[in-house]
Chains A and B, each alone.
Chain A
Amino acid sequence: MQIELRQHTSLLRIGMAPISAIFAALILCSALIIWAGVPVLEAYALLFKGAFGSAFALKETFTRSIPLIFTGLAVAVAFRSKFYNIGAEGQLYAGALASVYFGTGLVSLPGYLMVPFLLLVGALAGGLLLLVPVLLKTRLKVDEVVTTLLLNFVVLLMVSYLIEGPLRDPMAMGWPQTASIVDEGVLPTLMSKGRLHAGLIVAILASVLIWAVMRFTVLGYEIKAVGFNAKGAEFSGVKINRTVILTALISGGLAGLAGVSEVAGLKGYLTLDLSPGFGYTGVAVAMLAQLHPLAVIPAALFLSAVYVGADSMSRAVNIPTYIADVLVGVSVLAILVSVMLTRYRIKWRK
């Protein structure tokens, strides 16, 4: 078996990569659906209907895609510079913590300032949390993958302590949760019915902004250069450590925004089950988007549809909801192969 670089990679191939990966994942997972004894096409039709079939379903899919856009962006930016931030889950909770710390009465501002303020402190909290692994990496060469992963557990335990202790809402009938965000800090809902909130607009703006930064600014160029060839970038005068630290601040900040938007837009308060692994799913989002900031939006929508659709499918037929997580895992692996096939071809014989 020989792997050969293609002379030319067409745009069509690049565009087809995630679509073929998704199809591959759906086909592979149909084995599990057959095992569950449900006709495959019917199951996927149910999934599709559950995600897009009604106005309610559509709103749920969009609502659920908001944190995934943020975490997907966070991972995409970081991976662009080959800084492997797998800690978006922890940074999401850091952002959420900051928003309930400042947003439950400590600070009072008018509505048009309060929401941006909460977004700002949330982003700062996420960025500051990621500052620890990035400084350990640039100063002491500690591998960031393991530190970011381990910090997820530390942050979650910290949240558990805070919502059972200092930040616990005394009015919550003994449930471990924080008090609610003040009215001025709540992200308004976009439609009269349903839970879809203004976090979506923030998320889309963030995607466009990150795309512009990556495309038109020196910083974006440097981030890509460091990821593409760190040694080469250094020779041409890019300060690698500075670039990686800035990347990390942006990445952590984006993940922090996911936490703020979940708290201020959806739940209102912070509990331990704020995120069912949005941070980890962010890796899948970013990979499906091939690390492109604008492509993160459809990728997040697709994975959110998988989750929302799988929920409703498993209520209708007897398939465990974990099928959604399996689909996410398989898509990560499938996209790796399909992206590779855009750049290389496999020759089975010499």
Chain B
Amino acid sequence: MSDLLDILLTAGFWAATVRIVSPLIFGTLGELICERAGVLNLGIEGIMTVGAMSGWMWVYQGGDLWGGVIFAASVGALFGMLHASFTVYLGLSQHVTGIGITLFASSLSYFVYRMLLPSATTPPKIVPFQNFEIPILSDIPLFGEALFNQSPLTYLALICVPVVWYVLQKTPIGLAVRMAGENPVAVEAQGIDVLAVRTGAVMVGSALMAVGGAFITMSWFDAFYFGMVNGRGWICVALVIFASWKPGKALMGAFLFAGLEAMQVRAQQSAGAFIPYQFFLMLPYVMSILAMIVMARRAQYPQALLVPFRRGERV
């Protein structure tokens, strides 16, 4: 128990938590936007992979870091468009399309990586985002260092949470997105194009997922490895349910998970002798399942989630 306290009182633990939370925030917000508009996006795992690869590759080929982030986001949005043209315009199964996009996007990432770097045995590295220390605030002990001495992408993730909340809750566009996921017929009655709203939401959401992937290769690490996303996308899907489709709760959920993962890495060092490391690595997945069990009964699904909308069709 005192070990646990020791971990909680180190700045390193909190800094690691805030680092680990960033891709989860991007991914969860991205999935949340898609689902709020009524589209389940199981392409997330592949879109994060393609974001990780394309952002990194942009920089490796000589581009600058922010250019890489924008490139990753655009590639993500393209895959979002592909997803939307299948699920929104053609009304095809969202489950199967999502799995198809994941298979396609991740294998395409690996293919492109191997094409451009055919003989790389040790993954080449880039100069990733450096931590940006916010003066004064970062002098606060423990939390200051953790929250205010981070990569700019982490700040971007944290800023995205209130922005997404504000846009969804307080703007006409957000209202249209939420209504497209609850009652698309009503949106149509207002003269708004449901299909366009849904497509836009899926594209924006997918762009965020891709930036989450890019964070892993451009800020957390400095190289692209195979199987790097490693189920983080699926954890984000679980987090959206855990968060009841609310951005604020998504942030809390993501922090809970990141804290657990940071703790797990440190606990491995102290308890690794008694408990095999695999059980620590299992924790995030098992916790995701548990989180879904806890929240399932209270889950307020968007009413039109998974339901394709066809203009002029009776409900």
Report which A residues bind B (CB closer than 8 A).
1-3, 32, 35-36, 79, 84, 86, 136, 140-143, 145-147, 149-154, 157-158, 160-161, 164-165, 280, 283-284, 287, 318, 320, 322-323, 325-326, 328-330, 332-333, 336-337, 340
Contacts and interface: CB of A to CB of B under 8 A. Distances in A.
B86 to A, nearest CB: 6
26 contacts: A3-B91, A3-B310, A32-B111, A36-B115, A147-B292, A149-B231, A150-B238, A151-B285, A153-B234, A153-B282, A154-B285, A158-B278, A160-B278, A283-B96, A320-B110, A320-B118, A322-B114, A325-B103, A325-B106, A329-B101, A329-B106, A329-B107, A336-B90, A336-B97, A337-B92, A340-B90
B276 interface: yes
Given A150-B235, A153-B231, 9 more contacts: A1-B89, A136-B293, A142-B292, A145-B42, A150-B288, A152-B231, A157-B282, A318-B118, A337-B86
Given A35-B115, A336-B97, A143 B104 contact: no
Nearest to A314: B114
Q: Which 5 A/B pairs are nearest by Cβ-Cβ distance?
A: A329-B104, A325-B107, A329-B103, A332-B100, A320-B114
A15 B119 CA distance: 42
Nearest to B237: A146
Contacts, number: 141
Contacts of A153: 230-231, 234, 282, 285
B32 to A, nearest CB: 14
- Residue among B104, B106, B281, B296 with most chain A CB within 10 A: B104
Contacts of B285: 150-151, 153-154, 157
Contacts of A283: 96, 99, 103
B234 A146 contact: yes
A3 B103 CA distance: 27
Interface in B215-232: 230-231
A142 B293 contact: yes
A326 B104 contact: yes
Contacts of A149: 231, 234
Which DSSP category, helix, strand, loop or mixed, fits chain B's interface? Answer: helix
B297 interface: yes
Interface of B: 42, 82, 86, 89-93, 95-97, 99-108, 110-111, 114-115, 118, 230-231, 234-235, 237-238, 241, 276, 278-279, 281-282, 285-286, 288-289, 292-293, 296-297, 299, 310-311
A198 to B, nearest CB: 30
Nearest to A286: B96
A136 B293 CA distance: 7
A153 B238 CA distance: 14
Contact of B296 (A142, A158, A164): A142
Contact of B93 (A86, A143, A329, A336): A336
A336 B230 CA distance: 26
Contacts of A3: 90-91, 310
Contacts of A160: 278
B42 A322 contact: no
A284 B289 contact: no
B96 A336 contact: yes
A16 to B, nearest CB: 18
A333 B276 contact: no
Nearest to A159: B278
Contacts of B292: 136, 142-143, 146-147
A150 B289 contact: yes
Contacts of A136: 289, 292-293, 296
Residue among B235, B289, B310, B311 with max Cβ neighbours from chain A (10 Å): B289
Contact of B108 (A145, A146, A326): A326
Nearest to B91: A3
A161 B278 contact: yes
Nearest to B107: A325
A240 to B, nearest CB: 17
Contacts of B311: 2
B111 A323 contact: yes
Contacts of B108: 322, 326, 329
